[in-house]
Copies of this chain bind each other. A is one copy, B any other.
């Protein structure tokens, strides 16, 4: 077995050629497996087939690797939220819910990124670049909330968009953290995390006086929703549960 290292070296020569990227990928895999806490700099190096000191040519230290991953995570996160929002098509509420599902989907499908971003204990606001990336991702939610707020029913007081955005964010993050990942996900729930969040958001919006067209107080102030298009695959039939937020799932 001890020839492995040499063989790999032979295959690729003294220089790796793409070590930085290889380390990021290795770390991503390790974090997905054992969490950011269990991830080890040495392991990543080993996985990339280089000595334990090599990574220091590309990252100041272990934390910088972690930060890089979180940074990249926020960027992909932003991209997915943006795609889900799709500029509010076909209608604001539908698109808004799609953003929520995208949030959960990201947490589920990219556990390593999500872990690095929200559960690694990284001092996000100590790193300006990270801070900014996180800000940009949040701004997608904020912009969506802005559009939603503008739709406030004529009579009702108009809720501050920022507050709405923070509320939605906290719901999505709460559901994702508690039910949509790792072991806690195994807790027996009466419904899937997606359904749970969807219902939560719908009830919340209704509490703000928005027409959600799927529950009791329905009176659309917006052009009627277009037949649902294929949404970013999130495992939930587009359009949600007919019959209100807590209609029994088929």
On A, residues with C-beta under 8 Å from B are: 35-38, 118-121, 123-126, 156-157, 159-160, 162-163, 166-167, 169-175, 177-179, 182-184, 186-187, 189-191, 196-197, 199-200, 202-209, 216, 244, 246
Copies of this chain held together in the complex: 2
- Contact partner of A167 (CB less than 8 A), chosen from B121, B173, B196, B205, is B196
Given known pairs A170-B175, A174-B172, the reply for A183 and B124 (CB within 8 Å) is yes
A207, B208: Cα distance in complex, Å: 7
Q: List 5 A-B contacts (CB under 8 A).
A: A35-B121, A125-B187, A163-B199, A170-B175, A204-B207
Contact, CB under 8 Å: B246 / A159: yes
Which residues of B are found within 8 Å of A206, using beta-carbon distances? 206-207
Between A172, A205, A208, the greatest number of chain B beta carbons within 10 A of the residue's beta carbon is seen for A208
Q: Top 3 nearest A-B pairs by Cβ distance?
A: A174-B174, A207-B207, A170-B174
Contact, CB under 8 Å: A203 / B208: yes
Which residues of B are found within 8 Å of A216, using beta-carbon distances? 156-157, 209
A179, B134: Cα distance in complex, Å: 14
Closest to A158 in B: B246
Contact, CB under 8 Å: A125 / B204: no
Closest to A199 in B: B163
Closest to A206 in B: B207
Contact, CB under 8 Å: B189 / A166: yes
Contact, CB under 8 Å: A163 / B178: no
